[in-house]
Amino acid sequence: MAILSEISNHYGVLKNLIGGEWVESTSTTVGEVTNPATNEVIAMLPASTTEEALSAVEAAKCGFEAWREVPLRERAKMLFDLRQRFEEDFDILFRVLTQDHGRTIAESRGSVRRCIENIESACSAAYGLAGRNEHIDSLASGIDMWLTWEPLGVFLIVTPGNIPMHAWSSFVPYALAAGCSVVISPSRQDPVAAEYINRTALKCGFPKGVINMVHGGREINKSILSCPQVQGLGFIGSTSAGRELFELCGKLGKNSSINGNGKNHVVIMPDANLDQSVVYLRQAFVL
């Protein structure tokens, strides 16, 4: 039986994506990223600093100012280009996902295909949002009414370790369709997959700063969300982290779309580390 080769045996020290550039972190806290199937180290992951996170927010703010002025038809065209780029990079994306996350090849192919479906939906949403604008003459005596939907600004997107690419596609293409920019905070469990999906997106030529990514964690996420430039949050992850961010969004008066843990069946394979499996199960079902 043929075995697909890996894109790389080691991806080096992973970088942040800030203002359209891949930037090395100055952090001295660096962890290992392993292939869960072999336990081999495939990358090194610095924990982003607060200063780096704030730089990403500032870049996203500048990116938003440029992106919001791009005409609707051009934004829609770039989303269609994004779909095409995912088709072109399909083999790379699913192989990286398998190596970094541990999914089977078939599951990874399905996950990337789902990403493409989400992008297709976002292409439609770009025009659908424009169709929600309203104008009513003489709503009342001497009063006309206009209702105009406008881009809000920068959004924080937090993606989980179990569906790193699928979760990205559940938020980012729709934010772009609406004319918003994003700062993505991916799970530290599979950051190589997060990097590669953003590398594919950058090939479309979005204005610098429209898509940003920092490798942080809960405290970094709170710092980003607390920035006045950030208008809201798209989150998929643990229920406990979701509750913390939902509470913060409420205090700050910010928009939020928060999705916590599901309750799916789990099969623990004979060669799995049972003690570690119990920790993950507890996080998924209780926290």
Provide the pairing of β-strand 181-185 with 154-158: parallel
pLDDT of residue 2: 46
For residue 139, the number of C-alpha atoms closer than 13 Å in the C-beta half-sphere is 8
pLDDT of residue 157: 98
- CA gap 135, 87 in Å, rounded: 39
Question: What value, to the nearest 5°, has the Cα angle with vertex 93 and ends 92 and 97?
Answer: 120
Average pLDDT estimate for 201-212? 97
The structure tokens listed for 15 are 């970088």
- Sorted by sequence, the CB contacts under 8 Å of residue 287 that are 6+ apart come out as 238, 239, 240, 261
Please state the φ and ψ torsions of residue 230, each to the nearest 5 degrees: -85, 125
pLDDT of residue 263: 66
Judge whether 188 and 74 are in contact, CB under 8 Å: no
Query: 56-60, 173-177, 269-273: which has the minimum mean pLDDT?
Result: 269-273
pLDDT of residue 5: 83
Single-letter code of the amino acid located at 246: F
Read off the pLDDT of residues 63-104 as tens digits, 9 standing for 90 and up. 999 999 999 999 999 999 999 999 999 999 999 999 999 999
- The full set of domains in the chain, from first to last, is 16-131+150-260 (3.40.605.10)
Q: Percent of the chain at pLDDT above 70?
A: 95
pLDDT of residue 262: 67
Q: Percent of the chain at pLDDT above 90?
A: 71
The mean pLDDT value of the chain amounts to 91
Read off the pLDDT of residues 110-139 as tens digits, 9 standing for 90 and up. 999 999 999 999 999 888 877 767 778 877
Task: Answer yes or no: is pLDDT of 287 > 60.
Answer: no
- CA gap 268, 169 in Å, rounded: 28
